[in-house]
Amino acid sequence: MSDAVLTLDLPFAERLASGKVREIYALGADLMLVATDRISAFDVVMREGVPGKGRVLTETTAFWLRHLADVVPNHFLSADVEDWPEVPAQYHDLLRGRAMRCRRCEPLPVEWVVRGYLTGSGWVDYQRDGRVSGIDLPAGLQHASQFAEPLLTPSTKAESGHDEPIDFDRCVDLVGADVAHAARSVALELYTRGNQHANERGIVIADTKFEFGLHDGQLMLIDECLTPDSSRFWPAEEVTPGGKPTQYDKQHLRDWLLRQDWDRTPPPPPLPDGVVASTARTYQDIQARLTS
């Protein structure tokens, strides 16, 4: 599994930021977002990568940004590296499929999490006090129950550690009432439209997160969109109240790590080739199903 792209050396461009998976570079007046094959679990980046994962994330995001462009403008400009004069030809093979050219936007300091089903941290919250992110819910719901309407459960964007849930009033404090209401409206519509498309292909989007920014005062969808890294995908035939549907993401990796004698701090244990290969197949499968 040595063909995974974990690091990038792009001397022709200024690196502006580096995340767990993505690298952000200046490209003229625009940005170039490059998705590596790095993978994280429990907020720790693994030493091994998942071959092809960066291309899955980038190509899936580009598909959704085109498909949902009528809901809200987005920062996507191009994924055709050969058309970018700033990129030397010798880097085309490396960047093809894993790089997007995007407008520069001012990111909002909020992650706009939308939940359609009761699972994850929402299920934990509900079992404790009958609420999810402070939103009261009917009694008697079970794991994987579908909400009557999708819920917006925003969170902070932590520089390190875990994001923290916040209520909508706090969103208003952070970004202003007009922007907060607009972002809430389009986040819910993006989820609804995305889930409808996925349902037609036998997939349920249990929950996801969106990020928005401002470009010349206009709200724009930025970063990744409805990928296996930002969303929880389930096979539709397995979704029933009380069930535990299979997750089309890195759950196989998480399950393997939970069986290891590891305290969830760096360094992580070495990943077996089989775990890496099965994770790669999962990412490739969900991309093929969603973007067909």
Question: For position 161, what pLDDT does the model report?
Answer: 55
Question: For position 164, what pLDDT does the model report?
Answer: 87
Q: What percent of the chain has pLDDT over 70?
A: 98
What is the CATH number that goes with domain 1-104? Answer: 3.30.200.20
Report the C-alpha gap between 235 and 198 in whole angstroms.
10
Fold (CATH) for 106-238: D-amino Acid Aminotransferase; Chain A, domain 1 (3.30.470)
As a whole number, mean pLDDT of residues 170-180 equals: 97
Question: For position 83, what pLDDT does the model report?
Answer: 97
As a whole number, mean pLDDT of residues 6-19 equals: 96
Q: Pairing relation of β-strands 231-235 and 203-215?
A: antiparallel
CB 71, CB 189: distance < 8 Å: yes
Question: For position 242, what pLDDT does the model report?
Answer: 98
Q: Write down the domain spans for the chain.
A: 1-104, 106-238
- pLDDT for 1 beyond 50: no
Question: For position 3, what pLDDT does the model report?
Answer: 87
pTM of the shown model: 0.95
Q: What percent of the chain has pLDDT over 90?
A: 93
Question: CB within 8 A of 169, min separation 6: which ones?
Answer: none
- Is the peptide bond prior to 228 cis by the omega test (within 30 degrees of 0)? no
In degrees to the nearest 10, what's the CA dihedral of 255, 256, 257, 262? 120
Question: For position 251, what pLDDT does the model report?
Answer: 85
As a whole number, mean pLDDT of residues 149-156 equals: 96
As a whole number, mean pLDDT of residues 240-256 equals: 93
- pLDDT for 241 beyond 90: yes
Residue 243 binned pLDDT confidence (cut-offs 50, 70, 90): very high
Nearest CA to 79 among 52, 53, 57, 101? Answer: 101
pLDDT digits (tens, 9 = 90+) for 184-193: 999 999 999 9
The per-residue pLDDT of the chain, averaged, comes to 95
CA 82 to chain CA centroid, nearest Å: 26
> CA-CA distances (angstroms) from residue 198 to 3, 56, 237?
30, 16, 13
pLDDT digits (tens, 9 = 90+) for 20-30: 999 999 999 99
Question: For position 41, what pLDDT does the model report?
Answer: 93
- pLDDT for 31 beyond 50: yes
Q: Which of 221 and 157 is assigned the larger pLDDT?
A: 221
List beta partners, residue 107: 213
